[in-house]
Structure 1
Amino acid sequence: MLPASPTLDAPADAVADPEWAAEARQTLQQADARLYRRYDQGDNIERLLALRARAADHLIRLAWQRCIPANAGLALFAVGGYGRGELFPRSDIDLLVFGPTQAQRTHETALARLFALLWDCGLPVSHAVRSAQECVQASADQTVLTALIESRPLVADDAARQALKQAVNSDGLWPPREFFLAKRDELLARHQRFGDTADNLEPDIKDGPGGLRDLNTLGWMALRAFGVRELEALVGLGHLGADEAVALRRERCALARLRFGLHLVANRPEERLRFDYQKTLAARLGFVDDVESLAVEKMMQGFYRSATVVRRISDRLLQRFEEQFDGEAVPEPVSVGFSLRRGYLAANDPQWPQGDIEQVFALFSSWAYNPDVRGLHSLTARALAESLGELPAYTDASPAAREQFMALLRSPRAVDTLARMARLGVLGQWIPAFAQVSGRMQFDLFHVYTVDQHTLMVLRNMGLFATSRADERFSIAHEVWPRLRKPELLLLAGLFHDIAKGRGGDHSELGAVDARAFCEAHGLGSSDTELVAWLVEQHLRMSVTAQKQDISDPDVIHRFATLVGSRDRLDYLYLLTCADIAGTSPKLWNTWKDRLLADLYFAARRALRDGLENQMPAAERVLEARETVRALVRERGYDDATIERQFTVMPDESFIRLRPEQLAWQAAALVPVKQGQTLVKVRRINADDDALEVFVHSPDRDGLFAAIVMTLDRKGYGIHRARVLDGPVETIFDTFEVTPADSFADGDAPRLEAALRDALAGDLAQLRPSRRVVPRQLRHFRFAPRIEFRDANDNDTGGTRFSLVAPDRPGLLADVAFVLRNQGLRVHDARIATFGERAEDMFVISDEHDRPLTETARQQLRDAMLACLDPDRKAGDPH
C-alpha cells in the first residue's frame, strides 16, 4: 500500500517530508514492476494502461491531501492523455489545478510543494493553474481546448466539475465544425512532417501517420462534435461501422502495446521505433528469427500493417465528419453506375459491389478517367473494405476481370490507379503475393521503405518518365520512354520485381516465376510474358554492372550487352533500373548514378548496334575518342598544335575510361602547366547539383592518393568515383567525383581546390585521417569486414585487385587509403560504392615497383586493414 495520508484538514504549510516521498516512490516502483511483468506475460494492454493511471491517481490524491487544505477552494483534474485514464510507462502526467485566482495566490506555496513532492515520488508532472475565465481565454488555442475536453476529476466537487465543463463549452469557443477543420489541418500537417507515410525505417508510433495520435484526433473530433468519449459510440450514430470499430480497437491495442514496450526498453519517453530499440523490443515481445524473416522485421511488419489500417479507416471517418457538418450534395453522374458526391466518387447501388471484382475494377476505371475526383466516397470505401474478403484473386477470376485489370494498366494515370488499389487493399487481394510483402521491411539502411511502399515509389518514378516534361534527375529517361512498345509491361515488371522478398531464396528468380504466371493468366503473348519475367529476374543486373564493374572495359560492356541481347530489352531494363534505385531511398539517386547508368546504356546500345561480334580494338577506340575530344577543345579556342601537344602528355587509357567532355576540360586546364608542376582543378558537374569533379595532375610520388582522399574527407566530401591513371614521364592523372557528405562541406569549388593544392604542396607523410563520430544508425549494423584479392585483368595495370566490403562510416575511405599508404602500396584504380550501411569498394593496387602483391604482402595488408576497420577483432581471428 501507499503511505497513509494525513487528515484532510491538515494545515496548508504541512511539510512534505522526504521519507514519505521515498516510500511512495518505492511503492510506485513495485506497482510498476508488477504491471511490467503482466505486460511481458501478454496481459491486456488497455487494462495495464488503466491500472497504471489508477495507481498514479491514488498517489496524486494522497499528495494533494498532504499539501492542500480541504477548504482551499481548488480542484484538481487530469487532462490530456492522462485525462483519458491511460498512462504509459514514461509518459508525462498532465494536471490542471482549477479554482479562483485568489485561491491560487493564497495557496501558491502549497501548490509548489505539491508538484515538488510529486516529482520526488517519481511522477513526471506537467501542470497548469487556471481559473474558469483563464481556461476560456487559454482555449482560444485549440491545443489547450483539446487537453481540457478530456479532463477527468481527481479531487473536485460537482460545482468545480460543472464550472470547468461550462468553461470548455462557452459560447463561440471552437464550434464543432471549426474544431474539426482545425484538427484535420493539424493532422495533415503532422503527416507531412513525416513525408506522409508511416513506412519509415524508424517510425514514430505516437505522432507518425497511422499512429496513436491519429486515433486520438478522431476521438477528439467525436467528443467535440457528438459528445461521445469512445469511437465505438459512433457505431450507434451511424458514422462508424461495427467492423471498423473492431478494427480500430484492435490496431489501437497493437500500437499501444508497441509504445508501452518501447518506453520500457528505452527507459525514457521515446516515441520513435529507433534502431537502438527495435531488436530488443522484438525480443521482449516474443518475436524470433526464422529462415524467412528476422524477429525485428516481423515486429515492424505488424506496425506498418496496423498504421495502414488506421489510415485507411480514419480517411473514411474524416470524410463522414465532413459530410456531417456540410451535408450531402446532389449526386453528379460521371459514368455508368457511379456519381460524384461533393467531389467524391460513389457507387449508385447501395448493395455495391457484392463481391464482384468486375464492379470494383469499373470503379477504378471511372476514377482513372475523371481526374477531378477528390477521393472515394466514405460509404463506397466502407462497402469496398467490407467486401475485400469476398473478392477473388486473379487466379480465380473471370477472363473479363483479367482483361479489365490489363485495361487499367493501359489507362491514363495507371500508376495512380495501382497506388489507389494498393492503399485500399484491392491490389493485395488481386495479387496475394503483393499482400505478403505489405508492410514488410528489411532491417538495413539501404531500403528505407517497406517492400510495398518501395514498389509504389518505383511505379511513381515510371509515371514521371511517362510525362513529356524532362526531369533533371533523369537525364535521358524521358527520351527512352517513348520507344517502349508497351509501357504496361514496364509497370508489370516494376510491380513484380520485389514481390518475392522474404520467401527465402533469390527473390529475383522467385519473382520471375510469379510474373510469368501472372502474365500467362492475363493472356499476354509469349514474347511479352518472357520480357516481363526477364526484367524481374535481371532487375539488379544493370545497377550491379554500373556500380561494381568498370564500364569503360569493352569486355564488361560486351558481357552486359550479350545478356541484354536487344535494344528493346535495354530500354526497358534501363528505365526499370533508374526507377528502382531512385525508389529505394531519397538519398540514393544522384547525378553521378544518373550519368553512370546513362553511360552504360549508351555503351551497350552501341555494342548492340555494331554487332556483338564486332568489338572495336582498343587502339581504334582511343583514336576515335581523340577526334571527338579534339573537336571539343577546338571549340574552347585552341589550335591543333596545342591540342596535339596536350594529347602527348595524357595517358591513352584516359581516352577509354573518361568522357570526351571531361577530357576536353582536363586538356584545356593542362595547357599552361609546365613539366613537374602540380595542377588541381575542381568544377561543378551540374548547375542544379552539389556534385563536384576533382582533377589532379602531378608528378607521381607515394602517398598522393591517400593525401587527396584524406583532404576530401577532412573537407566533408564523400567520393563516389575515382579514376587513378598513370601518365607519361612518371605523372598521375586522378579524377574524383565527390558530393558534400557533411554539413560543413559547402560545395564551393574554388575553396576545395585551394585546400587540395595546399595539402599536396606539403609533406604528404604528415597527413592523417581525421577522427569521426559514427552516426547512431550505423552502429546497429556492424558486421565483420570482408577482404578479397585476385589478379587484375589484362586491361588493368597488371596489379592486384583488392575488394573490400565493410560497414560504412564517416572517414572509411580515408582510413583505407591511409592503410594502403602505410603499406607502401600504389593505387591505380578505385571504384567506390555504398549501399546503405555497406561500403563495397574495389581498388587496383601494386607495390612500389608496380608489381602485383605477393602472398606475404596480401596477408600483411589484410591484417593491417582489419586492425584498422575492426579493432575489436581478436588476434588470429580468420574472419
Structure 2
Amino acid sequence: MSPAALVWSAQAASAAPGLDELREHPRDTARFRQYRRDIIDRLHQGFQDGADIDALIHGHAALVDALLTLIWRQFEFAAQSDLCLVAVGGYGRGELHPGSDIDILVLAERDAEARHGDTISRFVTFLWDVGLEVGHSVRSIDDCLREARDDITIATTMFEARHLCGARALFEAFREAMHPDRIWDSRSFYAAKLAEQQARHQRFGETAYRLEPNVKEGPGGLRDIQMIGWVSKRHFAAERLEQLVAHGFLREGELRDLIEGQRFLWNVRFALHMITGRREDRLLFDLQRTLAGTFGFVDQHQNLGVEQFMQRYFRTISDLQRLNELLLQHFNEAILQDPGSMSEVHRIHQRFQIRGGYLELVHDQVFMIYPPALLEAFLLVQTHPEVQGIRASTIRLIRAHRHMIDAQFRRNPVCRNLFMQILRAPRGVTTELRRMNRYGVLGAYIPAFGRIIGRMQYDLFHVYTVDEHTLNVLRNTRRFALPEFADEQPLASDIYSRVQRPERLILAALFHDIAKGRGGDHSELGALDALHFCQHHGLGNEDAALVSWLVRSHLLMSLTAQRKDISDPEVVLNFAREVRTRERLDLLYLLTIADIRGTNPELWNNWKASLLQTLYKAALLVLERGLDTPPDTDEQIGQTCREALQILASHGLDEEAVEAIWEEFEVEYFVRHSADEIAWHTRAIAGIRDSDLPLVLVRHETPRGSTEIFVYTDDHPRLFARITTTLTQLGLDIVDARIITTHSGRTLDTFLVLEGMGHAVEPGFRVDEIRETLRERLVDPRCDHHAVQRSLPRRLKHFDVATQIEFGPGVPAVSSTRMRVRALDRPGLLSTIGCVFAEQNVNVRTARISTAGEQVEDIFLLFNTDGRELTPEQQDALRRQLVEEI
C-alpha cells in the first residue's frame, strides 16, 4: 500500500471513534455501525477536499482491514489454527470504493467449517449488522481448487487473495495450491480471460460509446485495466503494472497513460458511489450533469459542461481500449502463439512483412524513412485477407509516429492516393477506418474528425459519440453492398447495386456530422469541409459538389418524411425540386437510412422505413414526369379510385353503391389514403347501420409498417381527445393521424400507432382489446376523458425543454391553421394536447407526430367550429393553455 494511502487511512481513523474504544465494547453493534459510517463520511470529505484517489481507495481498504481483524479476534478466531480470514477480488488487491462489496473468504481446514459453523455464521451476520456489505464464502482448500477449476471468474478472485488474519500456514498452503503449475497455467488462463472479456464487451454493447456507459464493466473500463493486471500476474508473477516495463511489455509513456486512465476512472466511480450512496457503476444519464459539476466542468458556448466531461470520459476509455488491445496482442504473441509460426515470415515488400498472420514493419525506422507507410499499413491489411491484424510492435510504432501526420503529410499526393484506395477497396472499408480511428490515425489525417472523437450530445436521440455514430453510418452504407444483408433493406440494396463510384457515398457518410459542436449549422460547415477534402483528393468537380450537397442535405429526407404530409403532392414536388436528379435521390435515400439506423438502434422501425420508401417512390415519379410538370391531383385521385373499385368489385360491391358512399367524402380523403385503405373503409361502411356506430376497425400491420385504426362515427368536439386518451391508456404510441369530416358531419379518422417498443401490434387478443376498448369509450357518454397522467421516466427528469407553440397558415386547399408543438416528451402528452383542443373548441384535421430522443415536434392542422382557420385570439388562448398544461 502506498505511503499516501497509509497516511490518509491513519488520519481518517483518528477522526473517527478509535478502534481502542471498539475493543472495549465488543459486539456493540451501534458503536461499530457508527464507526463504519464515520469511515464513509471521511472518504467523502477526503474526496471533496481533493485527496489523492489512490490514497482514498487503498486507505479505505486499510481501514476495513483493521476493522475486520478486530471483529475476527473478538469472535475468538485468533487462537484457531484451522481458520483464516482472506480478502479476495478487488478488496484482495487492496482497492475499495465507498459502495464496493467487501469480498472475503473464510478459509478452513477440512471439517473445520462444521466445528465453527455457528460462530462463522454469527461473525458474518455481525458484519452485515454493522454496515459492512460483505460477499463471503467459507471453503476448504479442496473446495477452492474445485470451484476455481470450474469457473475462471472464481479463480481470478482467488488469485488476488490477501491474508488478513488467522492461520498464516493455512493461507500459504492455499497460495501454493493456486500456483500456475497446479491450476490455470498462464496459457489456459489467458485464453479463458480473453474469451470472458470478449463476452463482457458484447454484453455491454461492444462499444464504450453508449448513452450510459458502465465505468467498471464496459469496453475501456476498469475491468479492461484489471484484465492486463490479471494476465501479467499469472504469466510474469508481476504484482504491479510497473513490472511490465521491466519485462519489455509496456513502455514508460504507456504505463503513465494506463495509470492516469485508471485514476480518472477511479475518480468517476468514487464520485458515482458518493453521489448515489450505493454501489453504482453506470454513468446514468440523470447523474452526468452532477458529475460534470463535481469535476469542475462548466457550460461554454456551443459546449455544455456535461458534454465536455463526457468527451473527457470517452477519450479516456478510448485510449484505454487501445492500450488493452496493444498489450493483449503482446500477450497473445508471448503466450498463445506457436513459436514456430512466429518464425515464419512472408515479405510483402521493403517496408512490410507478415509474421504469424499479422502485419509488421520490416524495421523500426520505416515510418521515419517513408511516412506514407502510416496509411499504407491499413491498406495492406485490407488487401491481404490472410492478415489477421497488425502486430503489437507495429501498433506501438504507429502510435509513436502519429505526430508525423501533419499538413505536409496531408498534402502529399501519395498519402492522398493511399487514403482514397482504402475508401475505394471492395472490402474492409469500415474495419480499417475503425482501426485507423483506434490508433489515432484517422483523427490525425482529418483534423476535423479528430475534434469529434469522444464528443457526445446531451440528449436521448444520439446514443453514440459523434465519431462512433459516423463509423456506424459508414458501416450501414457498406451493408447495402453485401448480399447477406439484402433482406434487411431490399429497395436500398437494389439501389446500391446501381450506384456508380460508391466512395462518394462513403465520403458523405464520413463528413455528414463532422462539424458537430462548432457552432452554426453543422450541415453547412460540414459541406464546406467535404468539398475541400474531395477537391484535394482527386474527385472531379461534379463528384465533389455531389458529396458536398449530400452532407448539406443529409437531414432533408428524414425531416420531410417525418414532419410533413407526404401524401400532399405539393410536399413531394418541393422535395423533388430540392433533390433535382435521380442520382441525388438514390444517394440521399441510402444515406438517410444509414444515418437513422446509426443514430440509435431503437429509432429504426418499419414505420420509418415505410415513410422513407413512400417519399422515395413518390419523388421518383415526379422526377420521371419532370419538375416543371405540376402535380395532377385529379389524375392521382382518378387512379386511386379505379384501383379501389377493382378491389371492391372483387368483394361483390357494385360501382353504383360505392359511388353513393364516396359522394359524402371530401376530395382530401382520396388524396390522403391509398386504394387499399379506401377499399377497406368502404366495405365496412357499406354494411353499417346508424345504430352500429361508432365503427372501429383495426389492422394489426399495414404496408406503412404500423397498426392502422379507423374510426367512422358522428363528429363531436371531444372526439380527438377521447381517441388519443384511450389509445394512450392502451400503451400505444400515435405516429400519424388523419382527421377528415364527411359532408354529412361524420368523421373518417385514421390513426397509425405502434407499441411502445416501436413495432406493430401483434394479431389476436391485442387487436380485439384495442377495438373493443375504443368502441366502448366512444359509445359511453359518461366516460370522463381527462388527460392521461403518468410519472416522468428517469431519463427525462433531468431535461428542461421549453414548450414552444408556433402557428402558421395551413395547406392552401382547405381552411386551416398549422400549429407546431415542441416540448419534452412524456407519457400522455398527446392526450393532454387533445383535451386542450376539446376545451378550446378546436378541431383537428391532421396530426403528424415526431419524437427525437427527449423532445417531440408534433404538427397539427386545426380549424375552428366554423370550419375555418383559427383567429389570432383563438391562437393566443390555445397557446396559453397548452403551455400551462404541458
Q: TM-score, normalised to structure 2's length?
A: 0.91
Say whether the 8 Å CA contact 2:822–2:858 is kept in structure 1.
Answer: yes
1:352/1:640 CA distance change after superposition, 3 Å: farther
1:633/1:430 CA distance change after superposition, 3 Å: farther
The Cα of 1:854 is off from its aligned counterpart by: 2.9
1:244/1:715 CA distance change after superposition, 3 Å: same
Say whether the 8 Å CA contact 1:717–1:745 is kept in structure 2.
Answer: no
In structure 1, the gaps of 5 or more residues are 870-879
What is the match of residue 582 of structure 1? Answer: 597
2:697 to 654, 668, 681: 681
What is the match of residue 285 of structure 2? Answer: 275
1:714 and 2:729 matched: yes
Counterpart amino acid of residue 859 in structure 1? D
Secondary structure at the aligned position of 1:354 is classed as helix
Say whether the 8 Å CA contact 1:516–1:530 is kept in structure 2.
Answer: yes
Q: What does 1:114-153 align with in structure 2 at a 5 Å threshold?
A: 114-140=123-149, 141-153=151-163
The Cα of 1:203 is off from its aligned counterpart by: 0.6
1:776 and 2:794 matched: yes
1:190 and 2:207 matched: no
1:81/1:419 CA distance change after superposition, 3 Å: same
1:489 to 486, 494, 504: 504
1-structure distance, mates of 2:647, 2:168: 89
1:265 and 2:275 matched: yes
2-structure distance, mates of 1:802, 1:572: 32
Q: What does 1:739-818 align with in structure 2 at a 5 Å threshold?
A: 739-741=754-756, 747-748=762-763, 749-763=767-781, 766-795=784-813, 797-818=814-835
Describe the superposition over 1:393-432 as per-residue Cα deviations: whole angstroms up to 9, x where unpaired.
Answer: 5873311210121122111122333223223322111101
Q: What does 1:162-177 align with in structure 2 at a 5 Å threshold?
A: 162-169=172-179, 172-177=182-187
Bigger drift between 839-848 and 334-343 goes to 334-343
Describe the superposition over 1:117-140 as per-residue Cα deviations: whole angstroms up to 9, x where unpaired.
Answer: 444544322222333223223323
2-structure distance, mates of 1:338, 1:277: 48
1:88 and 2:111 matched: no
Say whether the 8 Å CA contact 1:393–1:431 is kept in structure 2.
Answer: no
What is the match of residue 244 of structure 2? Answer: 234
2:47 to 33, 36, 44: 36
Counterpart amino acid of residue 282 in structure 1? A
1:510/1:100 CA distance change after superposition, 3 Å: same
Counterpart amino acid of residue 148 in structure 2? S
Describe the superposition over 1:347-404 as per-residue Cα deviations: whole angstroms up to 9, x where unpaired.
Answer: 4445443374522332222222234543323222222222222233587331121012
Say whether the 8 Å CA contact 1:21–1:117 is kept in structure 2.
Answer: no
2-structure distance, mates of 1:763, 1:475: 48
1:839 to 856, 863, 870: 856
Counterpart amino acid of residue 829 in structure 2? L
What is the match of residue 848 of structure 1? Answer: 865
1:630/1:409 CA distance change after superposition, 3 Å: farther
1-structure distance, mates of 2:398, 2:639: 63
2-structure distance, mates of 1:131, 1:239: 36
2-structure distance, mates of 1:385, 1:135: 43
1:99 and 2:108 matched: yes
What is the match of residue 60 of structure 1? Answer: 68
What is the match of residue 296 of structure 2? Answer: 286
1:393/1:707 CA distance change after superposition, 3 Å: farther
Say whether the 8 Å CA contact 2:833–2:882 is kept in structure 1.
Answer: yes
1-structure distance, mates of 2:229, 2:515: 39
1:120/1:552 CA distance change after superposition, 3 Å: same
Describe the superposition over 1:406-465 as per-residue Cα deviations: whole angstroms up to 9, x where unpaired.
Answer: 122111122333223223322111101111101100000011111001101111110122
What is the match of residue 72 of structure 1? Answer: 80
Say whether the 8 Å CA contact 1:357–1:392 is kept in structure 2.
Answer: no
What is the match of residue 752 of structure 2? Answer: 737
1-structure distance, mates of 2:474, 2:579: 22
1:379 and 2:393 matched: yes
1:24/1:468 CA distance change after superposition, 3 Å: closer
Say whether the 8 Å CA contact 2:636–2:671 is kept in structure 1.
Answer: yes
Q: What does 1:612-627 align with in structure 2 at a 5 Å threshold?
A: 612-627=627-642
1:598 to 613, 616, 621: 613
2-structure distance, mates of 1:274, 1:6: 41
What is the match of residue 542 of structure 2? Answer: 527
Q: TM-score, normalised to structure 1's length?
A: 0.92
1:542 to 548, 557, 563: 557
In structure 2, the gaps of 5 or more residues are 1-13
Describe the superposition over 1:110-160 as per-residue Cα deviations: whole angstroms up to 9, x where unpaired.
Answer: 444544444454432222233322322332322222111111222256423
Counterpart amino acid of residue 626 in structure 2? G
1:628/1:421 CA distance change after superposition, 3 Å: farther
The Cα of 1:35 is off from its aligned counterpart by: 2.0
2-structure distance, mates of 1:750, 1:521: 62
Describe the superposition over 1:753-774 as per-residue Cα deviations: whole angstroms up to 9, x where unpaired.
Answer: 3333333332275334443232
Describe the superposition over 1:731-758 as per-residue Cα deviations: whole angstroms up to 9, x where unpaired.
Answer: 2222222110169996333442333333
Say whether the 8 Å CA contact 1:319–1:378 is kept in structure 2.
Answer: yes
Bigger drift between 387-396 and 191-200 goes to 387-396
Bigger drift between 690-699 and 435-444 goes to 690-699
2-structure distance, mates of 1:59, 1:522: 67
1:636/1:707 CA distance change after superposition, 3 Å: same
What is the match of residue 665 of structure 1? Answer: 680
1:651/1:375 CA distance change after superposition, 3 Å: farther
1:391 and 2:402 matched: no
1:636/1:177 CA distance change after superposition, 3 Å: farther
1:360/1:25 CA distance change after superposition, 3 Å: closer
Secondary structure at the aligned position of 2:711 is classed as strand
Say whether the 8 Å CA contact 2:605–2:705 is kept in structure 1.
Answer: no
What is the match of residue 586 of structure 2? Answer: 571
Secondary structure at the aligned position of 1:517 is classed as helix
Describe the superposition over 1:306-355 as per-residue Cα deviations: whole angstroms up to 9, x where unpaired.
Answer: 11122222123223322223324154648445454443333444544337
Say whether the 8 Å CA contact 2:753–2:760 is kept in structure 1.
Answer: no
Indicate the percent of aligned positions where both proteins have the same amino acid. 39
1:768/1:372 CA distance change after superposition, 3 Å: farther
Say whether the 8 Å CA contact 2:740–2:845 is kept in structure 1.
Answer: yes
1:254/1:116 CA distance change after superposition, 3 Å: same
1-structure distance, mates of 2:840, 2:409: 62
The Cα of 1:223 is off from its aligned counterpart by: 1.4
Say whether the 8 Å CA contact 2:85–2:166 is kept in structure 1.
Answer: yes
Secondary structure at the aligned position of 2:738 is classed as strand
2-structure distance, mates of 1:156, 1:528: 76
Say whether the 8 Å CA contact 1:542–1:577 is kept in structure 2.
Answer: yes
Say whether the 8 Å CA contact 1:16–1:113 is kept in structure 2.
Answer: no
2-structure distance, mates of 1:496, 1:197: 21
Counterpart amino acid of residue 854 in structure 1? T
Aligned length: 861
Counterpart amino acid of residue 64 in structure 2? A
The Cα of 1:551 is off from its aligned counterpart by: 2.0
1:616/1:118 CA distance change after superposition, 3 Å: closer
The Cα of 1:544 is off from its aligned counterpart by: 1.5
Say whether the 8 Å CA contact 1:804–1:842 is kept in structure 2.
Answer: yes
The Cα of 1:592 is off from its aligned counterpart by: 1.5
What is the match of residue 9 of structure 2? Answer: none
Say whether the 8 Å CA contact 1:831–1:843 is kept in structure 2.
Answer: yes
Describe the superposition over 1:592-650 as per-residue Cα deviations: whole angstroms up to 9, x where unpaired.
Answer: 11121222222222223323222034333322332344445456665544554454344
The Cα of 1:674 is off from its aligned counterpart by: 4.5
The Cα of 1:86 is off from its aligned counterpart by: 1.5
Describe the superposition over 1:285-306 as per-residue Cα deviations: whole angstroms up to 9, x where unpaired.
Answer: 1111101311111111111111
Counterpart amino acid of residue 425 in structure 1? G
